[in-house]
Amino acid sequence: MALSDDDIQACARRLHHAERTRTQIRQLSQDFPVITIADAYAIQKAWVDIKIAEGRIVRGHKIGLTSKAMQSALNIDEPDSGVLLDDMFFADGGIIPTGRFIATRVEAELAFVMSKRLSGPDCTLFDVLNATDFVVPALEILDTRIERVDPKTKATRKIFDTIADNAANAGIVLGGRPIRPLDADLRWIGALCFKNGQLEETGLAAGVLNHPATAVAWLANKIAPLGLALEPGQVVLAGSFIRPIETRKGDTIQADYGAYGSVGCYFAQEA
């Protein structure tokens, strides 16, 4: 890694403060041009550790940047990942407190609920299917604690910034009809995504590395060198198969998964 432990801890504290105050910070890639992917994950872990010390509980993981188009745009050749904490879960059809976030966007995904411990290396799609209890329709709520565009240099956020920012994760909504992993060809599950009744995006789960379970296998293999695994009961967001939908106060988001039900939420201020 290129950054010192002091730098990593300081970046984590900055991100934590940014989230709490709803004030974005400058891109870490601008402050630390030598930052590496390993540094970014170390910052993410340090930030998650701060939250755990405050009482949060790890409930799962998210996988992002699973499409070839997004990977090419960021000049990377693999997805990224973040951590799901207990306070990130919202009820289907429930209220999302926009006052808690900075600049939300929403993506449609499939979530895997693990029944068995899944560990790498050499984890395969078939291992994922065997270790999964249910697959359920989901919405991921994204937020950005780091500026998307640097106001001085006009540089856009880089992969290091996104990873450090917990892969831009902020929330998750589970809904629809739970599916046993072998009861459907997961590649062909799709969604019609509406904002305020207007169709915004459509997509198929095959857009996630040709099969969403492949993304879950990637994650199990990625975290194995750290001595980590996907644990029973954890939820894993496999990756979006639509472009992010920008949201603001007053917006209603609904994703129609056809035979597999729907999932939605409403963005409102906290009472």
How confident is the model at residue 69, as a pLDDT?
A: 62
Q: Please, which residues bridge with residue 263 across strands?
A: 255
Judge whether residue 270 has pLDDT over 80.
no
For residue 108, what is the domain's CATH number?
Answer: 3.90.850.10
Does some domain include residue 1? Answer: no
Does some domain include residue 22? Answer: no
Residue-range definition of the domain harbouring residue 86: 57-268
Judge whether residue 52 has pLDDT over 80.
yes
Which residues, at least 6 apart from 96, have a Cβ–Cβ distance to it below 8 Å?
Answer: 90, 104, 141, 171, 173, 265, 266, 267, 268
Q: Region 157-183: what's the mean pLDDT?
A: 96
Does some domain include residue 221? Answer: yes
Percent of the chain at pLDDT exceeding 90 = 93
Q: Region 56-66: what's the mean pLDDT?
A: 95
Does some domain include residue 158? Answer: yes
How confident is the model at residue 70, as a pLDDT?
A: 67
Give the total number of structural domains in the chain: 1
Does some domain include residue 159? Answer: yes
Q: Region 54-79: what's the mean pLDDT?
A: 84
Residue 271 banded pLDDT, cuts 50, 70, 90? very low
Judge whether residue 77 has pLDDT over 80.
no
Does some domain include residue 29? Answer: no
